[in-house]
Each structure stands twice: as structure tokens, then as C-alpha cells.
Chains A and B, each alone.
Chain A
Amino acid sequence: MLSIAANLFHSTLEDKFAALAQAGFLNIDLTHSDFGADKRDIEHIAELAKRNGIEISSASSLREFGGNTNHIHEYDMDLARNYLKTLAQLNCRLLVVMPPTIRSKNIDTNQILADLRALANLAIPYRIKIALKALPWSPYIGSYQAAASLCRDVNSPNFGLVIDTFHFLSESEAIDVLEEIPTSDIFLVQCSDFNSSMTYSLEDQIETYHHKRLIPGDGYYESSIVTLIEHLHQQGYRGHYSILANNAIYKTQQTDELISRINSFQEACQAFL
């Protein structure tokens, strides 16, 4: 099933939710930019979701998490608790967590494991799952192998992984890496196209990750993304594929035009959804 990250659209929340619901897309993903500082923002999202019959499928919110051995540790855990409470309020059952990206003497890899275990335990009473997303530029969890290894060490049924097609394709990962990951550990697949060539600087990679992701089909890699999806389907993955596109060119495009292109991609991989 396809879900869609809400930050693709540049209309109001009311308009986004209504348009997506009308087009039959009832699963929406939130990113950290969707969470306002005011609790009324959360109440508003919850109310809109309920009104439109929409499920908030995932929230990619907890960044730079874990490993701090100084006072930042309590800040990390406090932020985690706040996000879990917010997700519980939104009936969202999947929190995406991302590792620290800056090498620091105050970050300890054993502490990262302890913090992820504590996060998994905190999520259990609220029926939330935690999905770890590797970031290519993280010195701590920069590859799928590292993320999968950590997932085995956390060893909790509610702790798994996010596969990001952008990561795969920009790092030229071989598709058989996926075979080393137990399918039951894959909680979410994020799908993004992009226009850059495969060999480019780290700076370009980070810039593309944050600002230039495209709807599959709008960049160079649609067929590779469909191949990845087919491979995951054959491995038994039956979870969500989240369309994650944040390119600024979408700001000037109409919601129904964007939905139409998502529909085209959906048709291209319908057999595997």
C-alpha cells in the first residue's frame, strides 16, 4: 500500500487531507516540519485525520537521537517521550528514528544501543513501533548493515528498520543487501526519485536528501525503485511504501496534478503493492 508524506503538498492541512482522502489515499506520513510547537496543532491534525478517515501511518521526527553521555542524554530522552505522546494522540503507530550525524567524543556507541532499547521499551505501552533509518553521512549508523546489526542487538519485536530508496540508489547499494535483512525487521520503505547522477559529493547528497527528493517517475530512477519494490515484495514485505518528495518545484504545482503523478507511479508498481 502507498502512503504519502504530507510535506509534498503546499496547501493547508485541511486541503491536503481532504484532497488525498478524496483520491483514495488514506495513509499519510508526517515529518518533523509538520509538528508545530503548539499542542493545538496536534489536536488539529488529529481532528482532520479523523474527519477525513485518514490514518497517520508514520512520523519521521526523532533526529540525531542517542549515544550522548553528557547532559544532552536527558534532552534526547525527553524529546523521545514527547514525540511518543504526540504520536499516541494522533493514533500513529510508527516513529522513525535517525542516528547522530556529527562525530563527537560525547557520543558512545554502547549508549546508542542502550538509548534505542529504552526508546523501544517506552514505545510499547503506547503500541508504537520504532523504525531506525540509516543515514549515509552518519559516522555511527551509516549503512544498512550497521542498522541491521543494531536492530539485531536491540532485539525487540517493536523495533525495526526503514529502507529509503534514495539511500540505496545514491549509495549504489547492491539490491542483494536487502536479502541480509530479515523482512520482518522492515517496518517502512520510503520511496524517492532524484535527478543527480550517482557519483557526486557528500554535500550534494545531503542537499538532495533534504531538498530535492522527487516523486518516483519525476527523476532518473523510477524503474530502479520499481525493481526494489518488486524485490521486497518477493521477500515477503507487505508494509507501506511511503512517497517522500520534498523538492521545491512542487510548491508551484497543484495538489491534483501531484496526486495524478503519484497515481501513475502506483499503476507502475500495482502488482507489488
Chain B
Amino acid sequence: MDQNDITPLSTANLLGIEFIEIVAPSLESVTPLMTELGFSLYAKHRRKNVFLFQQNQLKIIINCSQDPTLEAYVGEMGIALFAIAFKCDDASIAHAELIKRGAWDSSNHSGPMEVNIPGIEGMGGTLIYLVDQVRDDLSVYEIDFKTIPSVAEKLNGSLSHFHEFTIQVDPDRTQTCLTFFERLFGFQAKEEASLQLPGKHAISLRFVEASDEQHNTEFFSKITFKANENSPLRHQIFAGNDRAFAIEVI
């Protein structure tokens, strides 16, 4: 057995970021921010208080559902980045391999007629979903979400892709957290304290260490977007007291 065992998930190629999930107390609490960033409300979940915002190929799910775990998370963190979803060639195989390597199963326990998305736990109670890529024009969204009419043509915006996710961890935990992602997923180190995520845009996952005990947990502290060259949003940072994460556009 290879001593370092940094092996990519070979049979279930991770292809990139499919979507990210933000938890919030209400749609109204995030709509101004989403609008300012150029996202449009594209679809609503058929049964729950869950919404899909989109801009170009960027998808953000806003989850305001009355789930006790999520409500507790929002209660502690405010509006927070709760999950990232990787697009996969075969999500169930990827999931099985991750569990074998020592990941916690946190598969989305759906109701009848809903899509069951395999998932694992990340840092601090956040999740990592594995989503099969779109095939034959059928996407995972079409089962659970209903498109809002007249939005389809308004999905252009000046943000082109995710650039980086930053996780704030406890002091002296950077190497340990890097090891977690290296061992489970086979991600390669990019620079000190960051890893390369799969996909064509060289998205990275960065770790910063907490200097205080503002939150007694580890969490996503920043989302960095890459914008088109002429975007008015470039070089801006959007902080917010009601949010656990800052937003940066480069």
C-alpha cells in the first residue's frame, strides 16, 4: 500500500463544482445580495422552502427549509455556506469509496419522489454532496425544482465561475484538514494551505486559522468568484454582519 495513499477517486471522476448550498432564515434575507451579485431566481423546490439561483453556469441553492439541523446551524452561524456539491461521473461509486476511506455518510434523506443525493460530512458539520452530471438533458433539478417562467433568458451575469472557497479552522489544524481532503479525495496541494479542486477552472480550497473563538466551529469563511474582465463587481469584497462568510470578486 502506498505510504501516502493520495489516490484520486479513479472510477468516479470528479468533474467540478455543480452547486453550492447556502442556508438562510428566509429568501428575503439573501435576495438583495444575490441580486447585487447578478444572480437570478431560476427555480423553486416543489415542496420545500429551497430556491435555486443561477448566473451563467454558477448555481447557488438557498435553503430556508424548516429542518432542525439547518435551523440550528443558521441560529449559530447566521447565513452560511453549508455545502458544496461536486459534479461526478458516478456519484454512488465516489460516495462508496469515500466512506471506505473514512468519511461520514451524510446522504440527503429525501422524501418520496425526491432525488437522493449522496453526501459526506466536511468540517464543522458542513456537507459535501456528490451529484451525477447532467445526462440526456435530464438534470437532478428537474425532479425536485420547478422553473420560474420568464427567467431562463435572464441568466447572464458578469460572474463566470467560482474561484476559491476558504474554510476557517482551529489553530494548528491546517495540515490536518489538508490531509483530510488529500486522503479522501486525492486533491493535490496547490500552495501552502490550499488544495486544487477538480474542474476546468482551477478552483481552490484554502484554509485559514482562527485567531479567536468567535465561532466555536470550523466553517466556510469566504467565497471568491471570478468575474468577467469588464464586470463592475471586480475587486470588491462583500462582508455582512448577518453572514458567516465574506464574498470576494476578483
Query: For the side of the interface on A, what is the size category?
Result: 10 to 19
Contact at A125–B100, with CB atoms within 8 Å?
A: no
Q: Does A117 interact with chain B (Cβ within 8 Å)?
A: yes
Q: Does B124 interact with chain A (Cβ within 8 Å)?
A: yes
- Nearest Cβ on chain B to A84's Cβ, whole angstroms: 9
Contact at B176–A125, with CB atoms within 8 Å?
A: no
Contact at A156–B176, with CB atoms within 8 Å?
A: yes
Query: For the side of the interface on B, what is the size category?
Result: 20 to 34
Q: Does B4 interact with chain A (Cβ within 8 Å)?
A: yes
Q: Which residues from A are CB-within-8-Å of B179?
A: 124, 156-158
Q: Which residues of B contact A (CB under 8 A)?
A: 1, 3-5, 100-104, 121-125, 170, 173, 175-177, 179-180, 183-184, 218
Contact at A156–B123, with CB atoms within 8 Å?
A: no
Contact of B176 (CB < 8 Å), options: A81, A113, A158 = A158
Q: Pull 18 A–B residue pairs with CB atoms less than 8 Å apart, ordered by A.
A: A81-B104, A114-B1, A118-B101, A119-B102, A121-B102, A121-B103, A124-B123, A124-B176, A124-B180, A125-B104, A125-B124, A125-B180, A127-B170, A127-B173, A153-B3, A156-B179, A157-B176, A158-B176
Task: Identify the 8 closest CB pairs spanning chains A and B, nearest first.
Answer: A121-B102, A118-B102, A124-B180, A157-B176, A157-B175, A122-B102, A158-B176, A125-B121
Contact at B123–A125, with CB atoms within 8 Å?
A: yes
- Nearest Cβ on chain B to A219's Cβ, whole angstroms: 36
Known contacts A110-B1, A125-B123: A118-B176 contact under CB 8 Å: no
Q: Which residues from A are CB-within-8-Å of B170?
A: 127
Q: How far is the CA of A174 from the CA of B218 in the complex (A)?
A: 42
Q: Does A235 interact with chain B (Cβ within 8 Å)?
A: no
Contact at B122–A125, with CB atoms within 8 Å?
A: yes
Q: Which residues of A contact B (CB under 8 A)?
A: 81, 110, 113-114, 117-122, 124-125, 127, 152-153, 155-158
Contact of B184 (CB < 8 Å), options: A114, A121, A127 = A121
Contact at B1–A113, with CB atoms within 8 Å?
A: yes
Q: Which residues from B are CB-within-8-Å of A113?
A: 1
Smallest CB gap from A120: residue in B: B102
Contact at B180–A121, with CB atoms within 8 Å?
A: yes
Q: How far is the CA of A146 from the CA of B102 in the complex (A)?
A: 23
Q: How far is the CA of A60 from the CA of B1 in the complex (A)?
A: 28
Q: How far is the CA of A81 from the CA of B125 in the complex (A)?
A: 15
Q: Which residues from A are CB-within-8-Å of B100?
A: 118
Q: How far is the CA of A114 from the CA of B100 in the complex (A)?
A: 9
**Can you add 12 more A-B contacts, CB < 8 Å, to A118-B100, A125-B124?**
A113-B1, A117-B101, A118-B101, A118-B102, A119-B102, A121-B101, A121-B183, A121-B184, A124-B123, A124-B176, A124-B177, A125-B180
Smallest CB gap from A77: residue in B: B102
Q: Which residues from B are CB-within-8-Å of A124?
A: 123, 176-177, 179-180
- Nearest Cβ on chain B to A254's Cβ, whole angstroms: 37
Smallest CB gap from A110: residue in B: B1
Q: How far is the CA of A122 from the CA of B100 in the complex (A)?
A: 10
Contact at B4–A155, with CB atoms within 8 Å?
A: yes
Smallest CB gap from B173: residue in A: A127
Q: How far is the CA of A153 from the CA of B4 in the complex (A)?
A: 8
Q: How far is the CA of A156 from the CA of B4 in the complex (A)?
A: 9
Q: Which residues from A are CB-within-8-Å of B175?
A: 157
Q: How far is the CA of A81 from the CA of B1 in the complex (A)?
A: 24
Q: Which residues from B are CB-within-8-Å of A110?
A: 1
Q: How far is the CA of A252 from the CA of B182 in the complex (A)?
A: 52
Contact at B5–A117, with CB atoms within 8 Å?
A: yes
Contact at B183–A117, with CB atoms within 8 Å?
A: yes
- Nearest Cβ on chain B to A183's Cβ, whole angstroms: 15
Contact at A122–B3, with CB atoms within 8 Å?
A: no
Q: How far is the CA of A203 from the CA of B168 in the complex (A)?
A: 50
Q: How far is the CA of A211 from the CA of B58 in the complex (A)?
A: 62
Contact of A155 (CB < 8 Å), options: B3, B101, B104 = B3
Q: How far is the CA of A110 from the CA of B3 in the complex (A)?
A: 11
Q: Which residues from A are CB-within-8-Å of B177?
A: 124
Contact at A127–B1, with CB atoms within 8 Å?
A: no
- Nearest Cβ on chain A to B84's Cβ, whole angstroms: 14
Q: How far is the CA of A153 from the CA of B2 in the complex (A)?
A: 9
Q: Which residues from B are CB-within-8-Å of A121?
A: 101-103, 180, 183-184
Contact at A122–B5, with CB atoms within 8 Å?
A: no
**By CB atoms of chain B within 10 A, which of A114, A122, A125, A153 has the most?**
A125
Q: How far is the CA of A114 from the CA of B121 in the complex (A)?
A: 20
Q: How far is the CA of A113 from the CA of B180 in the complex (A)?
A: 16
Q: Which residues from A are CB-within-8-Å of B122?
A: 125
Q: Which residues from B are CB-within-8-Å of A152?
A: 3
Contact at B104–A122, with CB atoms within 8 Å?
A: yes
Q: How far is the CA of A158 from the CA of B104 in the complex (A)?
A: 17
Smallest CB gap from A116: residue in B: B102
Q: How far is the CA of A121 from the CA of B180 in the complex (A)?
A: 6
Contact of B218 (CB < 8 Å), options: A119, A127, A158 = A127
Q: How far is the CA of A81 from the CA of B122 in the complex (A)?
A: 15
